Structure 1
Amino acid sequence: MKRILVTGSTGTLGRPVAAHLAALGHDVRGLSRRPGAAHQGDLVTGAGLDAALTGVDTVVHCASDTRRQGRTDIAATRNLLDAAARAGHPHIVFVSIVGVDRIPYPYYRIKLEAERLIEAYGGTTLRATQFHDFVLAGARLAGRLPLVFAPDVQVQPIATRDVAARLGELVDQQVPGRADDLGGPEVLFAPDLFRGYLDRIGSRRRIVPVRLPGAAFRAFRQGEHLTPAHRSGGERWSDFLGGTPVER
């Protein structure tokens, strides 16, 4: 049994990661900024990190400032690594995104810089493809319009619980460096994924595939965010939709 600190433990990925690690028998701590939390800490300011990391064997770093495109992620990662070094250098497993070194997208550049910090520390990085939840959020947003605009790109969505299972393996292995990428079990076009969502809610709205200008979208069109050679055997998009409440 390991004592593990999970950052972002209440987020889309952090929640299933914490639950999976606890189910494996580990002593899991969830880092939270909420007052009164058992392990309160703020990655951006560094407050409370020393106490949260006391006695920890491993850190799974899932936290990311996605609402602001990772604006605070570098500072947060540096603070975490500094506190980890003071706490005896526990192993750190970081979650990144497939293609961050090939797609010139601002959030991806930040992720890549965070990867470099993790590598310099001696931690492990796992790159995963887009989560089912992320694709669903995009479909919900687009589905509010009379015409449903969908990016004309392929996507390889993956279930967060499948990413959590792989992170559980990496926690046990504790091998530094970049692990093999992890992708969903199927590569599909985003318009088809959106169509599946619309069918699920009984909508016959028209889907309009769109292509955007710029180098980032061109890289997505070229499939730089995909890893077909590293498909998981996990949950497919249709199964995810069938088991998830998908409000309009």
Structure 2
Amino acid sequence: MILYPAIDLKDGRCVRLLRGDMAAATVFAAAPADQARQFADAGFEWLHLVDLNGAFAGRPVNGDAVEAILAAVSLPVQLGGGIRDLSTIDFWLDRGVRRVILGTAAVTDPDLVRTACQRHPGCIVVGIDARDGMVAVEGWARTSEVRALDLALRFEDAGVAAIVYTDIDRDGALGGVNVEATADLAFALTTPVIASGGVASLADLRSLKAVEKTGVEGVICGRALYDGRLDPAAALKLLAEPV
């Protein structure tokens, strides 16, 4: 199971939000590229980047910070936030981003997801951010009438590389992962699922590791890594163990 350290970008800095609230941002690094280097030095295999401003604006905003990260490390990067058309997908994949994450676009323009998957095989991830099981869009500012599972099932035959499933109510709150909902989603799909939201300890990772065979391929972690609750070496060792 892959552990993805999260670098959430707001106004050019690395921050963590509480349940998606832009007004509740804690700044952890003024230079995101330096943070990326620290994660690379710690032994992580991937980086998970989110352009928070972009998610609200509907277009990339923190492009300079993303490019600085790409220049600073050789780790593969997956990027989400404000990516809602084919030209932006092409732009970031051409710049060296390994995978782009489509969230709002997956709800509002499912044909874009399918076209992007055909054009860039293995490079498209669908981000499903759920509040009480319903998909939230536009930087979590609006909750749709689409169920998380229904949205995921729409793309089962599209060639999506993975589904990032975020429980919004747990994101940044250090309250534990919604293991049951994540495992249920993964079990219902053939597409691999990446868990997100609420990781606070090795116990959370151990609980996810226990359901790895349902199709949970990885887990994203932010605040617990930044504030020292989660030791990178111990976390990586745990997730590398055979099931």
Please state which band the TM-score falls in when normalised by the shorter chain: 0.3 to 0.5
TM-score, with structure 2 as normaliser: 0.36
Larger radius of gyration: 1
Instruction: Report the TM-score, using the length of structure 1 for normalisation.
Output: 0.35
The structure whose residues are more often strand, as a share, is 2
